[in-house]
Amino acid sequence: YDGRDCGQPVYRRLVEEGRGIAACPECLGGLPTPRCPSEIRGGRVIARDGADVTAAFREGAQRALELCRRYGLRRAILKENSPSCGCRRIYDGSFTGAKIDGEGITARLLREHGIEVCSEEDGLPGELRLPADMPPRG
DSSP string computed for 33-89: SS---EEEETTEEEETTS-B-HHHHHHHHHHHHHHHHHHT--EEEE-TB-TTT-SSE
Residue 122: its pLDDT value, please? Answer: 81
pLDDT band at 1 (very low <50, low <70, confident <90, very high): confident
- pTM for the model stands at 0.85
Look at 3-12, 26-35, 116-125 and tell me which has the smallest mean pLDDT: 3-12
Q: Tens digits of per-residue pLDDT, 62-120?
A: 999 999 999 898 999 999 999 999 999 999 999 999 999 999 999 999 999 999 999 98
